[in-house]
Chains A and B, each alone.
Chain A
Amino acid sequence: MIRTELKRGTAELAILSVLEEGPLHGYEIGRRIEEHSAGALRYTLAALYPLLYRMEHRGWLRADWVTGDNGKRRRCYRLTSRGKKMLKPMRAEWADLFRALRQVAKVSHA
């Protein structure tokens, strides 16, 4: 299991990446991340929502209330053009980090 401190740094990239597939509401964002990471990345409300609000204020995400088929209103997040622009350098940054860790700590990733 990955420690909370480590997971926190990954959350921005994980959120942007799952939203690249299309607009999602908060619960679905968390679920998709968990699914794609085979359960390794699981965020509590305390980790997920403050970050979503922060990213929204930075203009990386846009949130709108949407009424679903079951009549329930949910806050749906979508990537903005600024958020899309953030993805590429962020991915490159993480790739650099993995490369560096591989060399220093003999860490390998799948």
Chain B
Amino acid sequence: MPDWRTYVRANLGSLSMRRAEEQQVVCELAEHLEEHCLMLCANGSPEEVAIAKTCAQAGDWEELRRGIVSAKQEGNMQERVKQIWIPGLATLFSSYILLAVLQWAGTRPWISHPGEPRQIFFYTPWLMALPFIGAAGAYLSRRANGARWQVYFAASLPVLALGAFFLLLIPLMFVTDRQVPLSVKGTAFLALMANWIILPGAALCIGVALQRLLNRKTIVN
């Protein structure tokens, strides 16, 4: 009887997936072939005939390889959607909708150094709500078995999206607007980053950390 694992590995080639996952696929297929061969032998087929029939039963190896890769990729994509994009978009929309509602309701931010380029403003109710939104995003991502980086990425998507936008737009303004001195532009840029990226980002990450803590306590209990 041949070593079916070696046979499968040799015919299947690389599946371009994690080693452990690939190993599992090889094991499963080898078990299938071995069982089929044993069944044929048990039904009276000579071993050589059973082996030949089993090898034929495998079908087209290239088709099998492509089929498995495509099925696994489809699955990985669905997982990424559940682990990153659904929780991330939920966090993104809920945080900015909340901010819009607060502004519409007339909530005014507390501003340090008003009128100066270095002004930093605190939408206190918004900043206080962000940890809960971050925790909800983290919960959704973790529920879909998201890895740690995916959980943080999903929960902080609102600031990451805005950060990407700033990083694209602001250097352009630095170049185009020549009337304002560079030092003023720099200070305004830093204040903008603090207002919209660093403070909200920290609030969202606090939410993720709290959710992790809560999750750990639930598991322990």
* Co-assembled chains A and B: yes
Q: A25 within 8 Å of B by Cβ?
A: yes
Q: For B33, list chain A residues within 8 Å (CB).
A: 45
Whole-angstrom CA separation of A54 from B69 in the bound complex: 10
A46 and B71 form a contact (CB under 8 A): no
Closest chain A residue to B60, Cβ basis: A46
A50 and B70 form a contact (CB under 8 A): yes
Interface residues on A, range: 20 to 34
Describe B's contact surface by its main secondary structure. Answer: helix
| Residue count of chain B within 8 Å CB distance of chain A | 27
Give, as a whole number of angstroms, the nearest-CB distance from B81 to chain A: 11
A46 and B31 form a contact (CB under 8 A): no
Give, as a whole number of angstroms, the nearest-CB distance from B145 to chain A: 13
| Contacts between the two chains (Cβ within 8 Å), count | 70
Q: B67 within 8 Å of A by Cβ?
A: yes
Give, as a whole number of angstroms, the nearest-CB distance from A54 to chain B: 4
Q: A72 within 8 Å of B by Cβ?
A: yes
Q: B35 within 8 Å of A by Cβ?
A: yes
B-facing mask of A62-83, CB < 8 A → 1, else 0? 0001000000111100000000
A47 and B59 form a contact (CB under 8 A): yes
Residue from B31, B35, B36, B68 within 8 A of A50 (CB atoms)? B68
B-facing mask of A33-53, CB < 8 A → 1, else 0? 000000000001111011101
Closest chain B residue to A31, Cβ basis: B39
Residue from B25, B35, B75 within 8 A of A54 (CB atoms)? B75
Chain B interfacial positions (CB closer than 8 Å to A): 24-25, 27-29, 31-33, 35-36, 39, 57-61, 63-64, 67-68, 70-72, 74-75, 78-79
Show 7 A/B contacts (Cβ-Cβ < 8 Å), sorted by A. Answer: A49-B25, A49-B32, A54-B75, A57-B72, A57-B74, A65-B24, A75-B27
